[in-house]
Amino acid sequence: MPNIILLGPPGAGKGTQAARLVAERGMVQLSTGDMLREAKSSGTEMGKRVAAVMDRGELVTDEIVIGLIEEKIASGAGNGFIFDGFPRTLAQADALGELLARTGQRLDAVIQLVVDDETLIARIVGRAEEARAAGKPVRADDNPEVFADRLRAYYKSTSPLIGYYYALGDLFTVDGLAPVETVAGSIANVLDQAVAATAT
């Protein structure tokens, strides 16, 4: 059961690839946003803590997010986990490593979807134009200025993780601007290598 982290800036295609892994391999996608929304409406003790923090308009602490992840891992569901949107910082990476060790799990691969920023912005602008042409609502963040801000925020907080996981020997890079099928094939190769390595 491989456990992986998908790294990459907004718009790199992490959600698309995670959905394929869920459908094709039975993995469980652990998206921080989804877990927080689910916890908020769950009525559990952890859910009440999450609701209280979010209702105050505050950021949920790393401790709470790690607690939610631990609950998911303890459930034993699925065929490995995809960490999407977590970790975002070095402190979170350390906390995740400690959690996996404590629960008898391991991190098999960190897959970085590498993209060219200019091409990525052009892709987002194109997506907004397609939505307008089809008479569909345009996503608020499909705006070049807003998107550029999100990219800067991503690189500021998350780019240190690339060096962190490279030093651990866990980092694999994939061309995120390749066709979706090609990206999926590259990720599948990384996963197959990881599974083979743990089997030997």
Catalytic residues: 14, 88, 127, 139, 150
* Cα angle for residues 172, 194, 178 (degrees, 5° grid): 40
CB neighbours of 177 closer than 8 A, spacing ≥ 6? Answer: 115, 116, 119, 120
Q: Is the peptide bond before 179 cis (omega within 30 degrees of 0)?
A: no
Within 10 A of 74 (CB to CB), how many other CB atoms are there? 9
CA neighbor of 4 nearest in space, from 138, 13, 22, 146? 22
Quote the DSSP letter at residue 28: E
